[in-house]
Amino acid sequence: MPPEQPQWVQNRRRALGRRIRDLRVQQGHTQEAVVEMTDIDRRTFQRIEAGTSDPRYGDLLLIADAIGVPLAELVR
């Protein structure tokens, strides 16, 4: 994470990662399955879920579609 970003941004990024992980698990998907469905690099997806990477908008759309939830539910 870039050090110049405020703490609240880092906190929200981690919260988004937890939300993605929780929804993925609720839907019964493994990380590997989502990576395969989205063609997102495995390490990138791990970083998104860990909250250490800023996900691209397109990646969020792919993740939401793969786990079967609307984008709005993913990022709420």
Q: What is the pTM of this model?
A: 0.89
Record the tokens describing residue 47, joined without a space.
């970083």
Per residue of the chain (76 residues), give pLDDT as tens.
445 789 999 999 999 999 999 999 999 999 999 999 999 999 999 999 999 999 999 999 999 999 999 999 999 8
For domain 7-75, give the CATH number.
Answer: 1.10.260.40
35 to 10, 49, 55, 58, 63: CA distances (angstroms): 23, 12, 14, 14, 9
Sign of CA dihedral 19, 25, 27, 33: positive
- Phi, psi values for residue 9, rounded to 5°: -65, -45
Sorted by where each begins, the domain ranges of the chain are 7-75
